[in-house]
């Protein structure tokens, strides 16, 4: 009965995690849900930080245990009913967006388990400094026949790693071969280097799919080559897989600024360089050049740049705009700096209107820290509220509301409890000290007066401000610090599980 339940739940991203005594007797069984999230804590389908929820409580990120990232990543992808990982690594994160969710000491897995319930040695708390978290990108569960992908060490380098192919309904590696160029051609590169890469930290926990792989110089896809299909239980001899290091990708350059007005394209991307709609790292292409990630400035221009980026993308103002460290990028990656290359006052309609957009010399980030922005939607329901915060997931910030077709702050007021209540919290703390947040939109409300019982600010007294009007005390906006006590996890469920476990021990039931 226990095994049937475990398999049923594992298919839905839920596992049963058991802590055993030395006699392999289950003394505590708990349900574990698994998900992948981005830097902003939003759930993703196939790539992101690994988070687990125990007994329905708050989500917690997985921390490193030992050098077991590929083993754990393989199990996570399998539990989520996805293909094997093409990236599985620990990433440092200084954004503190995990602070409200907490962190969970990682499991120890062999890599072949069907779910995290079969992994061992899990403990609470992270010990690494700076904090690191498991980040995984999984292949889709199915693909076109003979589609290829590369399992790689660095998420920004898709040019080298171990080759995976989709054959007969499953992803798997190809046994070692000298036919590397055809894989690179199929992936869109010109050719492959003479020597394969030295892939140190990539482990494949899927059975190989092809052996005796030989291609002619005219082949452009692996289906054009000769090969022998392998059954799921067959292995390479010896257990070595095809590795490639592709060359010839057009990295492009940003043209030198010749005095003409530069044209810009802006986009937001996640940790895996996938384009996002309203939140991510800021990347810019100048005068038709390649995309470059924008460095954070030493003179704290993140909010000015973030305001212009959101406006250029046709979105509302930023609620988060900050510099975030990322130590997983390649050494030869190219960037744009806001400290020496860009100067915005936050009112521009496009980054092309900012001064000193580019310099002719190659520039690399010094930190490295990159501008990360989350923009409000362009439109919303009347009197909807949001917080402009210094960090992702904060409950303290400057209040923005949507009124008369535009987002803007509210002139300073004592009516803080109603704002927090509308945001889903119980009430506001006495003081809010907001550092590093600049609201560059014009205010929309003044004289906000609430009795304290209202659920929404439109139930309070207020005065509307037209475009161009300022608060009686300029740039003095309503800021709140909302009480987090309303978001505690479910304690009753945890107590019930503990009682059940105690009963199992009392009657001497052994779980096998």
For 111-162, the pLDDT digits (tens) are 999 888 888 755 555 665 556 788 999 999 999 999 999 999 877 778 889 9
For residue 259, with 0-12 CB atoms within 10 Å meaning exposed, 13-18 middle and 19 or more buried, which class applies? exposed
Cis ω for the linkage preceding 368 (within 30 of 0)? yes
> What is the pLDDT at residue 341?
52
- Comparing 172-176, 366-370, 373-377, 401-405, the range with the smallest average pLDDT is 366-370
Q: Taking 50 as the threshold, does the pLDDT of residue 170 lie above it?
A: yes
- Structure token digits, residue 119: 């992994």
Give bridge partners of residue 37 from the DSSP assignment: 43, 49
DSSP, collapsed to helix, strand or coil, labels residue 403 as strand
| Beta-carbon-side half-sphere exposure of residue 22 (alpha carbons within 13 Å) | 0
Report which of 261, 438, 437 is spatially closest to residue 346, judged by C-alpha positions: 438
Q: What is the C-alpha separation between 261 and 339, in angstroms, rounded?
A: 20
Q: Which residue has the tokens 């004289």?
A: 447
- Residue among 287, 349, 265, 284 nearest 312 (CA): 349
Residue 430's CB is within 10 A of a number of other CB atoms, namely: 6
**Rounded to whole angstroms, how far apart are CA atoms 128 and 116?**
22
Query: Does residue 343 carry a pLDDT above 80?
Result: no
pLDDT for residue 3 is more than 90: no
What rounded mean pLDDT belongs to the chain?
78
| Separation CA 151–CA 138 (nearest Å) | 10
Nearest CA to 222 out of 272, 298, 131, 150 is that of 150
Q: What is the mean pLDDT of residues 262-287?
A: 84
pLDDT of residue 329: 53
pLDDT above 90 covers a percentage of the chain that reads 41
**Collapsing DSSP states into helix, strand and coil, what is residue 138?**
strand
Identify the pLDDT of residue 213. Answer: 95
Prior bond to 130 cis, omega within 30?
yes
DSSP class of residue 80 equals: T
Position of tokens 């003479």? 194
Count the residues in the chain. 512
3-state helix, strand, coil in the chain (%, to 5): 15, 30, 55
What is the predicted pLDDT for the residue at 364? 55
Among the listed ranges 115-129, 356-370, 438-452, which one has the minimum average pLDDT value?
A: 356-370
pLDDT bucket at 69, cuts 50 / 70 / 90: confident
pTM for the complete prediction? 0.68
């Amino acid at each position: 009965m226990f095994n049937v339940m475990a398999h049923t739940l594992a298919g839905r991203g839920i596992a049963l995690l058991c802590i055993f005594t030395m006699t392999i007797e289950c003394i505590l069984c708990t349900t574990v849900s698994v998900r992948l999230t981005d830097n902003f804590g939003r759930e993703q389908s196939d790539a992101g930080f690994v988070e687990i929820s125990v007994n329905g409580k708050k989500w917690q990120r997985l921390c490193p245990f030992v050098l077991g990232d590929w083993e754990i990543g393989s199990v996570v992808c399998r539990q989520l009913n996805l293909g094997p990982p093409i990236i599985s690594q620990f990433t440092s994160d200084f954004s503190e967006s995990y602070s409200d969710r907490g962190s969970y000491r990682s499991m120890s897995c062999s890599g072949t388990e069907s779910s995290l319930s079969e992994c061992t040695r899990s403990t609470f708390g992270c010990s690494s400094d700076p904090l690191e978290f498991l980040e995984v990108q999984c292949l889709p569960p199915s693909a076109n026949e003979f589609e290829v992908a590369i399992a790689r060490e660095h998420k920004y380098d898709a040019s080298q790693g171990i080759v995976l192919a989709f054959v007969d309904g499953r992803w798997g590696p190809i046994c070692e071969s000298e036919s590397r160029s055809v894989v690179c051609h199929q992936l869109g590169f010109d050719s492959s280097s003479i020597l394969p890469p030295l892939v140190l930290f990539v482990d494949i926990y899927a059975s190989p799919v092809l052996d005796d792989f030989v291609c002619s110089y005219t082949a452009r896809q692996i289906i054009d080559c000769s090969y022998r299909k392998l059954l799921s239980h067959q292995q390479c001899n010896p257990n070595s897989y095809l590795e490639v290091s592709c060359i010839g990708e057009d990295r492009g350059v940003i043209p030198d600024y010749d005095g003409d007005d530069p044209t810009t394209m802006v986009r937001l991307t996640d940790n895996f360089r996938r384009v996002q709609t309203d939140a991510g790292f800021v990347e810019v292409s100048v005068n038709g050049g390649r995309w470059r990630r924008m460095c954070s400035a030493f003179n704290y221009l993140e909010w000015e740049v973030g305001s212009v980026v959101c406006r250029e993308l046709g979105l509302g103002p930023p609620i988060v705009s900050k510099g975030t460290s990322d130590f997983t990028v390649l050494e030869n990656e190219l960037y744009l700096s806001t400290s020496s290359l860009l100067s915005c006052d936050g009112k521009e309609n496009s980054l092309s209107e900012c001064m000193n957009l580019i310099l002719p010399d190659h520039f690399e980030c010094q930190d490295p820290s990159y501008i990360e922005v989350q923009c409000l939607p362009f439109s919303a329901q009347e009197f909807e509220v949001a917080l402009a915060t210094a960090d992702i997931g904060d409950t303290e910030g400057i209040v923005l509301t949507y009124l008369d077709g535009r987002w803007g702050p509210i002139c300073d007021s004592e009516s803080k409890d109603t704002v927090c209540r509308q945001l889903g919290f119980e009430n506001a703390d006495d003081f809010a000290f907001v550092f590093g947040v600049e609201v560059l939109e014009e205010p929309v409300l003044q004289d906000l007066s609430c009795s304290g019982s209202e659920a929404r600010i439109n139930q309070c007294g207020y005065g509307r401000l037209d475009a161009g009007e300022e608060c009686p005390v300029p740039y003095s906006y309503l800021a709140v610090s909302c009480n987090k006590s309303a978001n505690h996890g479910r304690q009753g469920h945890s107590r019930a599980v503990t009682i059940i476990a105690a009963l199992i021990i009392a009657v001497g039931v052994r779980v096998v």
